Amino acid sequence: MMLQRLFHVVLLHDFRAHRAEFYRDLAEMFRRNEALIGFLEGEIANSQLSSALSRRRALRVMLRTHLAGENASAVSHLLGEVVPKSDSMMLMAVDRAEDKGQALLALADAVDRQQAMVRVVATASVVPLITLPICYALVGVLARVVLAVDQSTPEFAREALWEGTNGWARLLAVFADAHGGALCLAFLAAIVAVAASLPRWRGRWRCHADTWPVFSLYRDFQAGMLFSSLAMMLRSGQTLSASLEHLALRASPWMRWQLGRVLSALDEQPTAVLDAFRRGLLSRSLLARAMTLNRSSSTFSEVLVQLGTREGERVLDRVKVTARIANVAVLGVLVGAAVFLGVASITVPGRFAALMEPSMLMILKARYDASRAIP
């Protein structure tokens, strides 16, 4: 069963990567008032002609789901098996939207922004991931050079050899030789742990973490998708509380927790809508923007539309800036350590050669013996 599920995910990878295009095709179907079964069968034939195997498989799954009859008209049910779970919240909003074509176009735009953020992060990660093993190997070689000089140095000459920056180089070499591999593995494990915790970690400490760069960007992007979904559902006539409860059913654990906090705040003060989102779901910048938009908007739905669409570009710009900063920081640490040990691999042997002069050895030996003789 696990192998079959994995095979299914692999085959649908290309369709999921280009699902925004399918959302736009589906939106066009609604605008043309085309029958769903005719659309699916026609697209399956087109996929057969164009050899789009992943899209054809996804369409066949959708057709089978539609013909099964249960919730046949629900877009979220139709696409549930073929799209990522991250789209579930907005797909539920599509089901309740009056204009499903427009709602699907908004979903396609949201997916495009999400994928743009992933591309920015992936592009920024390429150089560090390539540089990491190179710098690790270079630091390892240079560290062994420094440690080899240390082992070849007589005991009485070591204090003079490791004065100043040479001493810092020795400490770095010892640390790199003993813990370099573990440090690299810990760095990669930390990246995986952060990525896994983004949609899952909840609680009081997550509120503090949401002010940190990576977590705050995730919060802002998820808030944008939430506001787009809420705008669709409010336009269909649902109340804000009912919309939040419906979205919580298909949301990630983190979003479900945040929506629960918003609903609790609305139970206490039903009219303080923006204050309800202040409890962690909205960053200070987005909250200030929402208050600005609220002053010039006739309905709260208009505020949600603005936050869910136009603010996505601002979040993407923040992702780009953060990715550049992280890139420079990681490269600075790795390249800085390699350069520092590279310089040390030149200065340490030079200093070693100077200390190994017979006259200098005699002075250092006499100084060492004198220090040992003092009671």
Predicted confidence at residue 45, as pLDDT, reads 92
Please give the mean pLDDT across all residues of the chain. Answer: 84
69 and 91 part of one domain = no
Whether residues 174 and 64 fall in one domain: no
Q: Is the pLDDT of residue 72 over 70?
A: no
My answer on whether 159 and 207 are in the same domain is yes
Considering 72-81, 262-271, 294-303, 361-370, the range whose residues carry the highest mean pLDDT is 262-271
Same domain, 208 and 255: yes
Residue 4 has what pLDDT?
67
Q: Is a pLDDT exceeding 60 seen at residue 123? A: yes
Higher pLDDT, 129 or 24: 24
| 156 plus 122 within the same structural domain | yes
Q: HSE-up of 45 (CA within 13 Å, CB side)?
A: 5
Q: Which has more pLDDT, 342 or 117?
A: 342
pLDDT digits (tens, 9 = 90+) for 224-260: 778 877 877 777 677 888 888 888 887 889 999 999 9
Give the domain-ending residue among 29, 54, 83.
Answer: 83
Q: How many folded domains does the chain comprise?
A: 2
At position 105, the amino acid (one-letter code) is: L
Its domain, for residue 364, covers 84-375
Q: Are residues 73 and 121 in the same domain?
A: no
Same domain? For 51 and 88 the reply is no
pLDDT of residue 348: 87
Determine contact, residues 161/361, Cβ cutoff 8 Å.
no
3-state secondary structure the chain: CHHHHHHHHHHCHHHHHCHHHHHHHHHHHHHHCCCHHHHHHHHHHHHHHHCCHHHHHHHHHHHHHHHHCCCCCCHHHHHCCCCCHHHHHHHHHHHHCCCHHHHHHHHHHHHHHHHHHHHHHHHHHHHHHHHHHHHHHHHHHHHHHHHHHHHHCCHHHHHHHCCCHHHHHHHHHHHHHHHHHHHHHHHHHHHHHHHHHCCCCCCHHHHHHCCCHHHHHHHHHHHHHHHHHHHHHHHCCCCHHHHHHHHHHHCCHHHHHHHHHHHHHHHHCCCCHHHHHCCCCCCHHHHHHHHHHHHHCCCHHHHHHHHHHHHHHHHHHHHHHHHHHHHHHHHHHHHHHHHHHHHHHHHHHHHHHHHCCHHHHHHHHHHHHHHHHCC
Query: What average pLDDT does this structure show over 149-171?
Result: 87
Please check whether residue 141 is in contact with residue 344, taking contact to mean a CB–CB distance below 8 angstroms. Answer: no
What pLDDT does residue 22 have? 93
The residue among 67, 83, 99 that closes a domain is 83
Q: Are residues 65 and 178 in the same domain?
A: no
List of residues 6+ apart from 69 with CB closer than 8 A: none
Last residue of one domain, picked from the residues 48, 83, 118: 83
What are the tens digits of pLDDT across the range 198-207? 999 999 899 8
User: What pLDDT does 155 receive?
Assistant: 86
Q: Identify whether the C-beta of residue 153 lies closer than 8 Å to the C-beta of residue 352.
A: yes
Angle CA 260–262–264, to nearest 5: 70
Residues 185 and 300 in one domain: yes
| 208 has a pLDDT exceeding 70 | yes
End-to-end CA distance of the chain: 77
Distance CA 146, CA 341 (A): 8
| 203 or 305, greater pLDDT | 203
Report the predicted TM-score, pTM, of the whole model to 2 decimal places: 0.74
69 and 109 belong to one structural domain: no
Report which of residues 308 and 64 the model is more confident about: 64
12-61 pLDDT per residue, tens: 889 999 999 999 999 999 999 998 889 999 999 998 888 888 999 999 99
pLDDT of residue 1: 57
Q: How far is CA 175 from CA 90, 134, 317, 337, 341, in A?
A: 49, 18, 38, 11, 12
How much of the chain, in percent, has pLDDT values that exceed 70? 95
Residue 3's pLDDT is what? 67
> How far apart are the C-alpha atoms of 359 and 356, rounded to whole Å?
8
Residues 328 and 198 reside in one and the same domain: yes
Overall average pLDDT of the 83-110 stretch: 84
Are 123 and 244 contained in the same domain?
yes
